[in-house]
Amino acid sequence: MPKVVFKIDQSKPMRDQEVPGHNRWHPDVPVAEMVRPGDEFRMECREWTDAQIGDNDSANDVRDVDLTVAHVLSGPIGVEGAEPGDLLVVDILDLGAVPQQVGEAPGQGWGYTGVFAKANGGGFLTDYFPDAYKAIWDFHGQVATSRHLPGVRFTGITHPGLFGTAPSADLLSSWNRREQTLIDTDPQRVPPLGLPPLADNAVTGTATGDVAQRIAAEGARTVPARENGGNHDIKNFTRGARVFYPVHVRDAKLSGGDLHFSQGDGEITFCGAIEMGGYIDFHVDLIKGGMEKYGVTTNPLFMPGNVEPRYSEFLSFIGISVDHDTDTNYYLDATVAYRRACLNAVEYLKRWGYSGEQAYLLLGAAPIEGRVSGIVDIPNACCSLYLPTAIFDFDVRPNAKGPASQDRGQCAVTS
Amino acid sequence: MPKVVFKIDQSKPMRDQEVPGHNRWHPDVPVAEMVRPGDEFRMECREWTDAQIGDNDSANDVRDVDLTVAHVLSGPIGVEGAEPGDLLVVDILDLGAVPQQVGEAPGQGWGYTGVFAKANGGGFLTDYFPDAYKAIWDFHGQVATSRHLPGVRFTGITHPGLFGTAPSADLLSSWNRREQTLIDTDPQRVPPLGLPPLADNAVTGTATGDVAQRIAAEGARTVPARENGGNHDIKNFTRGARVFYPVHVRDAKLSGGDLHFSQGDGEITFCGAIEMGGYIDFHVDLIKGGMEKYGVTTNPLFMPGNVEPRYSEFLSFIGISVDHDTDTNYYLDATVAYRRACLNAVEYLKRWGYSGEQAYLLLGAAPIEGRVSGIVDIPNACCSLYLPTAIFDFDVRPNAKGPASQDRGQCAVTS
Amino acid sequence: MPKVVFKIDQSKPMRDQEVPGHNRWHPDVPVAEMVRPGDEFRMECREWTDAQIGDNDSANDVRDVDLTVAHVLSGPIGVEGAEPGDLLVVDILDLGAVPQQVGEAPGQGWGYTGVFAKANGGGFLTDYFPDAYKAIWDFHGQVATSRHLPGVRFTGITHPGLFGTAPSADLLSSWNRREQTLIDTDPQRVPPLGLPPLADNAVTGTATGDVAQRIAAEGARTVPARENGGNHDIKNFTRGARVFYPVHVRDAKLSGGDLHFSQGDGEITFCGAIEMGGYIDFHVDLIKGGMEKYGVTTNPLFMPGNVEPRYSEFLSFIGISVDHDTDTNYYLDATVAYRRACLNAVEYLKRWGYSGEQAYLLLGAAPIEGRVSGIVDIPNACCSLYLPTAIFDFDVRPNAKGPASQDRGQCAVTS
Amino acid sequence: MPKVVFKIDQSKPMRDQEVPGHNRWHPDVPVAEMVRPGDEFRMECREWTDAQIGDNDSANDVRDVDLTVAHVLSGPIGVEGAEPGDLLVVDILDLGAVPQQVGEAPGQGWGYTGVFAKANGGGFLTDYFPDAYKAIWDFHGQVATSRHLPGVRFTGITHPGLFGTAPSADLLSSWNRREQTLIDTDPQRVPPLGLPPLADNAVTGTATGDVAQRIAAEGARTVPARENGGNHDIKNFTRGARVFYPVHVRDAKLSGGDLHFSQGDGEITFCGAIEMGGYIDFHVDLIKGGMEKYGVTTNPLFMPGNVEPRYSEFLSFIGISVDHDTDTNYYLDATVAYRRACLNAVEYLKRWGYSGEQAYLLLGAAPIEGRVSGIVDIPNACCSLYLPTAIFDFDVRPNAKGPASQDRGQCAVTS
């Protein structure tokens, strides 16, 4: 176990940790600890909502979750010698759930997948599933099972949902401006188009006084991915992956968390991965001037690891950019196309006895692949979703007799 | 070689084949030949533009291509006993280029990737590359190389771009109505939002007289994927794949073509695969009443084959739904996000000496994966593009020294 | 299709081809055709026994096969500029069964796996299965099924069993001397320890007169692999593989055949692959002085292709170098260990209803992997055999209820 | 982290642990702790020699190692309800090095690969490398590097070398008898043909008095794999693997250790894996009467996990059962054939600047595959060795210019 440079006591909220992390992006969050290029080190992480969700059979906690505290991030870790324009090379050596597997915080032997209520953020299929739902997952080494999803067992594609470097002041201003412009086009929308800075419940690391107030007032919310990395929710940031993050401020200031035991492409339920706290081990290095050298200015580059779970048979669902419910055609809209592929998968799984909510939760959590298959054949974008057949303990492939439907229980619902 | 049920003489246009195929979707295109469930058979195919493109170093033929003749489809093949509501089970046993590898038609030992001019259809990056470009590929077994893309050599992920069943009359009406509604929102757009029925250059199989006229007048254009399958351009319809097509008319009427020696996810250059004529061998079967049994109503299901080219190291590019050129934020727009991932990849490859056009052509043709990574983190969708590093004969990974740029020639351009 | 430099008429024996091949290794077999480094070309091949086996339900033809005619090889193809000490770089661009899939020769839409009788060569488990058996396989693209092995369907790992360069006169002498020394230790053994030169039924290419007689008298039999390559029966010489053959004579003189639709590691039934005639497409090049440069003197090097069938779940059987039937311990004997692993697999498959003979035939033909797992733990070598579970149409994994045995027919037997 | 049922203090020898394990196989070793079918639990393990080897640059400790103390095993763990004839189903949930990564015991952030001297056990190539050698490996998550093997970096295929159930008294007698019979054929051989029971340095768990003496006197040495499982050294017992062990005594009595950070097939250097202490997490279950139900009597069955490191390009070396040094032919001897494949690989790597000893150590430790390719082509068995090219930081493939040899340092040698 490498040196721990960011410690978490899983029984306490982030605000009360010895060295607290933060939940807003801002250049002025103070460095929690410095490392050097070539160092290997461990960061411990809280689950992204700061452990508001419990290992129980009610989705009320998901329905009532307070998103102003999210995502709680560990860090920032400063890297000696890092300057704006460099690329920070980050190797993900290892990551996992909380080693102490007994406890009330997600990651202590269990995790969860949640569907948010439409009134509180919603998800990718929120127009079809407007209420809150939850599935609890038990961890068995790298394998997950759920009492809310009987008949399913898979190897997780474990990864961090969110890591990034600190934005510069200019970059932060640009984010706030362009996102507000978008929000202003429909400010009353539910769910909202974006989340502007919000001082309520801001956690600002070790900053105090004016600095803390400024961070709270100006800091960008952590939900989207941006030029610093951020909440990519790319399931392929697995063990062995190497990420090249743009550096926007002195010392780079690497922060993150939102560890996922597993996730399907798109993280479609919003809180769709199997969410957990845990640890992540890094090796860091620098490519001086790498942003210009490699033309990496708007987003990180990465190389996935070579120990992703290996599945070789898939059932694949297709969607095109047509809303079949309203018979409306959209122009090369991959978002609509992927949503239709997801809905087609849900419909298929219902024929085997799962509820729609269960199917939705499963697609968010299992190692499914979502592909942009055709994006030029006007007017229809075409996306596809690859579901490994081996994750089911029954033969889920189509056959001449028809699907073997049976009672497959139910996920956690609200009361 | 199974029985050939649709023959092509590659020296003649589709209209002049002994049994011509068709280039519009319509229920009344007469069956070219009947097969039975359980049969194995071969269909021969023309390249999708009916071989308007030549093996030369000018992109003028791409610039001037007449798209009203596309896609030329082989078929329809009728399947005995197929009725609306069934699923037609289609196994792709084998496919490949034209066995006679000397000749002027694409597929005779060579293929091409083209970027269409913005004035003639454009492509996914048409605002960045408004002119026509072309790369010629030479086939070596399953491997492709191009004099227009030195330093690159890869195993193709060979597949048909377009197969489908015939639409019913009602379904066809619905397509024409919903697409016209979309076109009407911006009828003068260049490139257009969609392509309405067009009698010019319609090829209508063995239909004659009134039937032929009706097909030409009403038949849906072949560019988009729809409820019958159609132009999916899903690179994973490889050897060994099994597709479950919805049946909308008696005998199912399976037609297709547009064979690709290889293609990247998205087929981003529009004519972006390595286009070729050739052959495809099928086995067919039926699941009676399968559409309702499995809830497969809007799109086919499929299972990819297990002989896709195996690559294990990737350089991955990320895009989010922000147009960084104009600093504009879009709401969970996967199309914008994938476009930015593509642009990031182009920028990276330019640092190694490729022109932007070469990079664009490469991303259209090589077996890259395009993934919908995050689709719920408001406001930014996040897509990613996986480029296998082994397709380059140099080490394309980032290193501390910077990229080894050198003169890598140029693709075919217009004069 | 590249230029055909060696043609076969599948209705005629090798001796009667327009340009006949050969069935003995000798430096003086005349070159059939010359090619140049950089050339791509096709060679057509007969099935290795010269098509003595038929598509029927009797194993009599396997029992009575005349092995003095085997292996019939296509070639030799001379490579301009090749000299002793070079490495001949051979890319396997493509290979497959006979394109004309109707006919009586193996490879014309079908192939077979045979177990030889102990009195006529035997196989790896000949003490357990001393009689002759056969299974006929039907080809469906890259997939094989057999009426003699119901419940099984797999993608073949297609490859040539035997290719090699010509030996020099000295090398040939050395082979004959060392093999005779081995044979002399037990000259009456059944099956024999080795096969010395034999003039009967020798086919000597276009050689005539004294040269033909010398080749027949001195030529090495083709059964084993040796310093020139030869009958490796390595299942991983698949499409896309690159082989580096040592060159022992001027022009290299590449010959081969014995194409396999599929094979398990070890080719345990002796005639154990799915045997067929067909074609193979090559690209050749030279590394001048490569044998010394790379220390490649005793055997070829190779790099497998990247389109091998992808399976991800295996049932694995273990064997150690103990003969449990006689309770005898052998010292680090991997041959005994692999035989025990095979016997363990046979025993397991019998519990599901296959006969031992069927199981034996299956292990010879399916894409199983045989590994030398432990070779130093005195006194027991440990080998393991990996059987892909997806090749069965039932769930072949152990479960608490016990195996679902049912009548699974029988293979072809002798009368 | 599941409940720890066997604890290790890595600063103490096995004999001095609170509950000591054992280093001989015997039915009377007392159960250390009981578990139930369905339980998940952790066992902690010492490195197999009880940590006689140090993290230094001398191979003297390897030369002088005392093998009478090996292998130190954790356990036995009793499984409630297990009876002779059952199959014990063991899922490997997780395993890894010692979590406390600072310390002097192998597994505390580092491991080693050793070549034993011929006078002290030797290894697979002991006639070519009769002295002792060592390489120290540093762990970085799942990746290993070695100062003794510059230019190499790979993902380990982590697994236990040795687990098994207790033998019955009869089975134990049979082992001792058959191995002594073998030893008696050449009792003075160096290295010996086998290792008979030896009371010296026997560790007998919590047994005392007469029982301890009987175990020491009769207990089978732990080096070979046998009917109870044992020292398989199968690299594919990875995370997610499921093993079905025969049960020979009441409670099954599962014991093991010898954890490997990585290993090549064959473990050719004898102490050839990357040896370490650490932990392993299991889930256990029973198939009552499973030995007879599935015909699993002589060796365990297993199913490998699906997170093995994924490599897709290999350089493959071939060996046949000919000793080219003496020009001697052996009859279908896979051991000789695999040895020749290993020697060919060593020779190749020497051309790039590695010493023979370095190459030998690398082949023992890296995730190479060793295959029994052809085992029937009399008289030559053919084995092949697959070396992933991506583990080198230079291009190790053959090219026309010849290998880029450079000084690559040296491994640890004796003084």
Q: What is the 3-state secondary structure (H, E, C) of B213-267?
A: HHHHHHCECCCCEECCEECCCCCCCCCCCEEEEECCCCCCCEEEEEEECCCCCEC
Place of tokens 């009330």: A104
pLDDT single digits (tens) D12-49: 999 999 999 999 999 999 999 999 999 999 999 999 99
Note whether D390 contacts B312, CB cutoff 8 Å: yes
Residue A271 is predicted with a pLDDT of 86
Of A100, A283, A306, the CB nearest to D155: A306
Q: Which candidate in B158, B282, B307 is best for mutational testing of the C interface (most C CBs within 10 A)?
A: B307
Contact A377, A321 (CB under 8 A): no
Residue B75 is predicted with a pLDDT of 97
Name the amino acid, one letter, at B93: L
Contacts with C78 (C-beta within 8 Å, 6 or more apart), sequence order:
C31, C33, C34, C35, C251, C252, C253, C254
Note whether A194 contacts B383, CB cutoff 8 Å: no
H or E stretch covering A347: helix A334-350
Rounded to two decimals, the pTM is 0.96
The residue of chain D nearest to residue B394, with distances taken between CA atoms, is D395
Mean local confidence (pLDDT), D127-138: 97
For residue C93, which residues of chain B lie inside 8 Å, CB to CB?
140-143
Percent of residues, chain C, with pLDDT higher than 90: 97
The residue of chain D nearest to residue C193, with distances taken between CA atoms, is D379
The residue of chain C nearest to residue A390, with distances taken between CA atoms, is C313
Q: How close does chain A come to B191, measured CA to CA in Å?
A: 9
Task: Say whether pLDDT at D168 is over 80.
Answer: yes
Please give the Cα distance from D113 to D147 (Å, whole number): 12
Side-chain half-sphere exposure of A360, counting CA atoms within 13 A: 29
Note whether C93 contacts B142, CB cutoff 8 Å: yes
Residue B271 is predicted with a pLDDT of 86
Determine the 3-state secondary structure of A204 from DSSP: strand
Residue C211 is predicted with a pLDDT of 98
Note whether B298 contacts A182, CB cutoff 8 Å: no
CATH number of C314-413: 3.10.28
Task: Say whether pLDDT at C293 is over 80.
Answer: yes
Please give the Cα distance from D389 to D383 (Å, whole number): 19
Residue D101 is predicted with a pLDDT of 81
Q: What is the pLDDT along chain A (415 residues), one digit of tens a residue?
A: 789 999 999 999 999 999 999 999 999 999 999 999 999 999 999 999 999 999 999 999 999 999 999 999 999 999 999 999 999 999 999 999 999 888 899 999 999 999 999 999 899 999 999 999 999 999 999 999 999 999 999 999 999 999 999 999 999 999 999 999 999 999 999 999 999 999 999 999 999 999 999 999 999 999 999 999 999 999 999 999 999 999 999 999 999 999 999 999 999 998 889 999 999 999 999 999 999 999 999 999 999 999 999 999 999 999 999 999 999 999 999 999 999 999 999 999 999 999 999 999 999 999 999 999 999 999 999 999 999 999 999 999 999 999 999 999 999 999 9
Note whether A302 contacts B316, CB cutoff 8 Å: yes
Residue B239 is predicted with a pLDDT of 96
B to D CB pairs, distance under 8 Å: 12
Residue D142 pLDDT level (bands cut at 50, 70, 90): very high
Note whether A403 contacts B293, CB cutoff 8 Å: yes
Quickly list H helices, A91-162.
none
For residue D331, which residues of chain C lie inside 8 Å, CB to CB?
182, 193-194
For residue C101, which residues of chain B lie inside 8 Å, CB to CB?
1-2
**Chains in contact with B, where contact requires at least 3 CB pairs less than 8 Å apart:** A, C, D
For residue B159, which residues of chain C lie inside 8 Å, CB to CB?
none
Residue D102 pLDDT level (bands cut at 50, 70, 90): confident
Percent of residues, chain D, with pLDDT higher than 90: 97
Q: Environment class of residue C389 by beta-carbon count within 10 Å: exposed (0-12), middle (13-18) or buried (19+)?
A: middle
**What are the structural domain ranges in chain B?**
3-303, 314-413
The residue of chain D nearest to residue C386, with distances taken between CA atoms, is D303
For residue C311, which residues of chain A lie inside 8 Å, CB to CB?
312
Residue A100 is predicted with a pLDDT of 86
Note whether D310 contacts A311, CB cutoff 8 Å: no
Note whether B315 contacts A303, CB cutoff 8 Å: yes
B interface with D, Cβ–Cβ < 8 A, is 310-313, 390, 395
A interface with C, Cβ–Cβ < 8 A, is 310-313, 390, 395
HEC sequence for chain C? CCEEEECCCCCCCHHHCCCCCECCECCCCCCCEEECCCCEEEEEECCCCCCCCCCCCECHHHHCCCHHHCCCEEEEEEECCCCCCCEEEEEEEEEEECCCCCCCCCCCCEEEEEECCHHHCCCCCCCCCCCCEEEEEEEECCEEEECCCCCECEECCCEEEEEECCCCHHHHHHHHHHHHHHHHCCCCCCCCCCCCCCCCCCCECCCCHHHHHHHHHHCECCCCEECCEECCCCCCCCCCCEEEEECCCCCCCEEEEEEECCCCCECCCEEEEEECCEEEEEEEEEECCHHHHHCCCCCCEEECCCCCCCCCCEEEEEEECEECCCCEECCCCHHHHHHHHHHHHHHHHHCCCCCHHHHHHHHHHCCCEEEEEECCCCCCCEEEEEEEHHHECCCCCCCCCCCCCCCCCCCEECC
Residue B272 is predicted with a pLDDT of 80
Q: How close does chain A come to D91, measured CA to CA in Å?
A: 10
Note whether B142 contacts C239, CB cutoff 8 Å: yes
For residue B283, which residues of chain C lie inside 8 Å, CB to CB?
140
Q: Which candidate in D306, D310, D311 is best for mutational testing of the A interface (most A CBs within 10 A)?
A: D306
Task: Say whether pLDDT at D1 is over 80.
Answer: no
Note whether D226 contacts C380, CB cutoff 8 Å: yes
**Chains in contact with D, where contact requires at least 3 CB pairs less than 8 Å apart:** A, B, C
Q: How far is residue B295 from each of residues A314, A323, A397, B174, B299, measured CA to CA in Å?
A: 18, 16, 13, 20, 10
Place of tokens 């396999």: C260
CATH number of B3-303: 2.60.120.580
For residue A390, which residues of chain C lie inside 8 Å, CB to CB?
312-313
Of A179, A314, A331, the CB nearest to B193: A331
Instruction: Confirm whether D3-303 and D314-413 share one CATH topology.
Output: no
Of D2, D307, D311, the CB nearest to A309: D307
Q: Which candidate in C347, C376, C386, C392 is best for mutational testing of the D interface (most D CBs within 10 A)?
A: C376
A to D CB pairs, distance under 8 Å: 69
Q: Which candidate in B378, B392, B395, B405 is best for mutational testing of the A interface (most A CBs within 10 A)?
A: B378
Q: Please tell me which residue, B84 or D120, carries the higher pLDDT value.
A: B84
Contacts with D138 (C-beta within 8 Å, 6 or more apart), sequence order:
D109, D110, D144, D145, D146, D147
Residue D235 is predicted with a pLDDT of 96
Question: Which residues of chain B are under the pLDDT cut of 50?
Answer: none
Q: How close does chain A come to B366, measured CA to CA in Å?
A: 13
Q: How many residues does chain B have?
A: 415
For residue B313, which residues of chain D lie inside 8 Å, CB to CB?
312, 390
pLDDT single digits (tens) D338-367: 999 999 999 999 999 999 999 999 999 999
Q: How close does chain C come to A395, measured CA to CA in Å?
A: 9
Note whether B40 contacts C281, CB cutoff 8 Å: no
Residue C107 is predicted with a pLDDT of 97
pLDDT single digits (tens) A343-377: 999 999 999 999 999 999 999 999 999 999 999 99
Note whether B351 contacts A294, CB cutoff 8 Å: yes
pLDDT single digits (tens) A83-132: 999 999 999 999 999 998 888 999 999 999 999 999 998 999 999 999 99
